[in-house]
Amino acid sequence: MYPEALAYVTCPRDPEATLRLASRARWSADGEIISGRLRCPMCGTRYRIDGGVADLIGPLAMPATLVQLLNDLPPTAWGYERAWRPHALTLLAGEPFAYERELPLIVGLAAPERGGLCVDVACSNGLYARALARAQGGVSGHVIGVDHALPMLKQARAYARAEGLRISFVRAKAQALPIAASAAAVLTMGGALNELGALDVALRELRRTLAPAGRCAMMSLSRAATVPGRLLQGSLRLAGVVFPTLEELNRRTTLAGLRLRAQWRYQVVVVSVLTR
């Protein structure tokens, strides 16, 4: 976690209270906060920073679904970008959709070069977070990656540091984003909306944290049109993965206070641009 994030990170219990760094923190040579404590000035709750990751959930938190449990396992975090993620959209979209196509699309829609805070929600290994940080370049701003799975965040931090990117990683739930209201110039989410649970709460959190002129670039999965696809999605539902129809997704997005600006669909893959 970098000090640039301290202006934006809030207490999950009191989203209006910005967390403060307690004394005796340990810093790396590039200014990253390696270890220490964050304290809420309102409720007094203390949160641990360990290995450069701020943990706002705590060791007693349990995954809510089977898919969240799988994401919480170190082997999943290790293999996510090494085995599954580079091929995922090509398999799901039924056409070539490698990183060389996906990342410029998401970054172009999010426009992080405008500066300000960028938050990659449910970031997993930080694929979008790294793309946002590279695109920001020397522009004034910062990138924060948020995820509930600590092994994912540790791997995300390792990837970011290997590239020399200043990205802060925070363990928190998408339904209680530890980000100040209206603070995010950019929000991104890559496929995680289907796995979060409490979808409407998560969408309202996106609305709360998005700046008035901000953009949210989101990739999600919709209900399949084919019988084999629906059978597969039905089995995944048992693990906690949901696949709303495009109409249902857009209706719930609107009810959360977000406005759909543009949308593209590639079979079950949906890319959306949202604003307040």
Give domain limits for the chain: 60-275
More confident residue, 188 or 140: 188
Q: How far apart are CA 61 and CA 43, in angstroms?
A: 19
Q: Which of 126-130, 134-138, 190-194 has the highest mean pLDDT?
A: 126-130
**pLDDT at residue 64 tops 90:** no
Question: What pLDDT is recorded for position 53?
Answer: 98
Report pLDDT digits (tens) over 260-269.
999 999 999 9
Q: Can you give the pTM of this predicted structure?
A: 0.96
Cβ atoms 248, 203 nearer than 8 A: no
Residue 104 has pLDDT above 90, yes or no: yes
Tokens of 238: 């048992």
Query: How far, in Å, CA of 42 to CA of 50, rounded?
Result: 23
Answer whether residue 214 shows pLDDT above 80. Answer: yes
Q: Which comes out higher in pLDDT, residue 228 or 54? A: 54
Angle, in degrees to the nearest 10, between helices 246-255 and 199-209: 50
Please give the average per-residue pLDDT across 34-62, as a whole number: 94
The string of pLDDT tens digits covering residues 66-87 is 999 999 999 999 999 999 999 9
Mean pLDDT of 237-243: 92
The answer on pLDDT for 52 being more than 90 is yes
Q: Which CATH architecture has domain 60-275?
A: 3-Layer(aba) Sandwich (3.40)
The answer, yes or no, to whether residue 63 has pLDDT greater than 80, is yes
Instruction: Share the mean pLDDT of the chain.
Output: 95
Per-residue pLDDT at 254 = 97
In Å, how far are 15, 21, 92, 228, 265 from 97, measured between CA atoms?
37, 42, 9, 21, 12
21-25, 164-168, 200-204, 255-259: least confident range: 21-25
pLDDT at residue 138 greater than cutoff 80? no
pLDDT at 198 over 90: no
